[in-house]
Amino acid sequence: MDTLKDMLEKARFYGSKSEEITGVEIRHEAPALGHRHVVAQVHHGDRSSLYQLLIDAADRDVLADSATELGQALASGTPAGLGELHGSAEQLAGLRGREHSGEQSNTSLVFGDDTGDEVIIKYFRKLEPGTNPDVELLRAIPDCPNIAPLSGWITAELEGEDYVLAMIQEYVPDAVDGWHYALGFTHINASFAPESALIGEATRKVHHALAEAFPVQQREVSELARELEERLDSLVGRAPVLKEFEAAAREFYRDLEPGTTPIQRIHGDLHLGQILRAEEEYLLIDFEGEPDRPLAQRRLPGSPLRDIAGLLRSLDYAAAHGKAPHTWVEQSAEALLEGYGISASPLLSAYVLDKALYEVAYEIDHRPEWVDIPLRAVRNLLG
C-alpha cells in the first residue's frame, strides 16, 4: 500500500494534497485489460475519499497508458471489468486513444484516427455514490447548442450503491478552452469584451435549457445568505488566513436586501477553463460542480448568479496572469453581464465574494503560488 500511497500523493488528479495520506484500503478490485481496476478508500486528515484507479503489477496507475485498449473494449460493448456501459460506444471502434492534457481532477482520454479526434471519455477519479451531475445534466439538455453532446456513460455497483465511473462525449475539434483563449487577449492588452458577450449569451442559453428540463423554485435571499455564512464557516476552518475577513464577509451577507430570487440547476463550477471556444460559439463543459463539495450538494439547485460569479472571477484571474490593466477586467465583466442580459447586483457581488473566498482555500490546497490573486479580490470586495 505504500506504493499506492506514494503514487496518489504525486497524482495530478488527487485533490487533497495539503493533507497527509494516512492509509489506503482497497474497497473493490476486478481484472481489467491485463491490469486491476481498483476503487481505493484514501484516508487523509480526518476524512476519506474513494478514488478510481487502473493499476499494474507495480501499483502504478496506467489508465491513460491503456487508452486505446480501453476504447476498443468499450466499442465491443464490454467495459472490460471497468463497469457497465450505457448508451453508445460503437464510434470508438478502430480509434486510437491518448490522454487529454490539462485535466486536473479527472482523467480524460481522446480518441481519433489520422483524420482527427472524434470522441472524448472522462474518467471520474474521485467517486461518490449517486448520479454524477455531468451525466445527469447533459442527458437532460441534448438539444442545447452550447454543450458537447453526451453519447454514453459507465456505471458500477459497489457495496450496494451505484457509482458513475466515466462518460463518453463528442469531441469538439479545433476548439480552445476559454482560459487560454482569454490569455491571448490579455498578453497583447486587446479587448475581450466581444468574446465576453458571447460567453454571457452561451451561459444564458444553457441556463434556459436547464430551467426547461428541471424545476425552477423561488428562495428567500435571507436563506441563501445563511448558506453563504455556513460556507464561510467551513472555508475559514480550511484556510485560517480568511479569519481576518470573517466578520466583514458575514456582515456583507447579512446586509443583502430581503426578497426572493429564482434557483435552478446550474453548472456549479463555471470558469473560463470550463468553456470551449468552438468555430461558431462557446460550449460549456464539465458540469460536475465544485470538486470539493459533496455530490449531494452539487446536485442541488442554486442561483444562476453563482455561475456568473465564477466567470467574473475567472476574468480577474486571466487579467492577473496576462498582466492586463484593471480596465480590461471591467470592460470584459460589463460585456459578460450584457451578453447574459442582467445588471450588477448586491446578490451577484455576494456570490463573487463567496467564490473568491473559496478560491483562497482552493489555492492554498493546490496552487499556493496563486493565492494572492483571490486574496486581493477579497480585500477589494470588502473594502
**Residue 116: per-residue pLDDT:** 79
State the Rg of the chain over Cα: 21
pLDDT score of 11 more than 70 = yes
Q: Identify the bridge partners of residue 302 per DSSP, sorted by sequence position.
A: 264
Q: What is the dihedral of CA 312, 313, 316, 318, to 10 degrees?
A: -100
Q: What is the pLDDT of residues 36-61, one digit of tens each?
A: 999 999 999 888 999 999 999 999 99
Average pLDDT estimate for 290-300: 87
Average pLDDT estimate for 78-90: 84
**Residue 10: per-residue pLDDT:** 87
**Residue 202: per-residue pLDDT:** 98
User: CA-CA distances (angstroms) from residue 244 to 74, 225, 236, 241, 357?
Assistant: 52, 19, 9, 7, 12
**Residue 317: per-residue pLDDT:** 97
Q: What is the pLDDT of residues 361-381, one digit of tens each?
A: 989 988 899 999 999 999 999
Average pLDDT estimate for 54-81: 90
Nearest Cα neighbor of 292 from 207, 366, 378, 370 is 366
pLDDT-based confidence at residue 103 (cuts at 50, 70, 90): low
What the block records as the C-alpha cell of 262 is: 429564482
Highest average pLDDT, of 14-23, 105-114, 152-161, 349-358, comes from 349-358
Among 82-86, 267-271, 326-330, which stretch is predicted with the lowest mean pLDDT? 82-86
**Residue 290: per-residue pLDDT:** 85
pLDDT score of 283 more than 80 = yes
Pairwise pLDDT comparison (139 vs 383), residue with the higher score: 139
pLDDT score of 265 more than 80 = yes
pLDDT score of 62 more than 90 = yes
Helix (H, G, I), strand (E, B) or coil at 357: helix
For the chain, give the percent of residues with pLDDT over 70: 99
pTM here is 0.91
Average pLDDT estimate for 59-80: 90
pLDDT score of 174 more than 90 = no
| Long-range own/partner contacts, residues 115-118 (CB < 8 A, 24 or more apart) | 116/173, 117/171, 117/173, 118/91, 118/170, 118/171
**Residue 88: per-residue pLDDT:** 87
Across the chain, what does the average pLDDT equal?
93
Domains and CATH numbers, the chain: 2-170 (no CATH), 176-381 (3.90.1200.10)
Q: What is the pLDDT of residues 184-236, one digit of tens each?
A: 999 999 999 999 999 999 999 999 999 999 999 999 999 999 999 999 999 99
Q: Which residues contact 358 (CB under 8 A, 6 or more apart)?
A: 231, 235, 290, 292
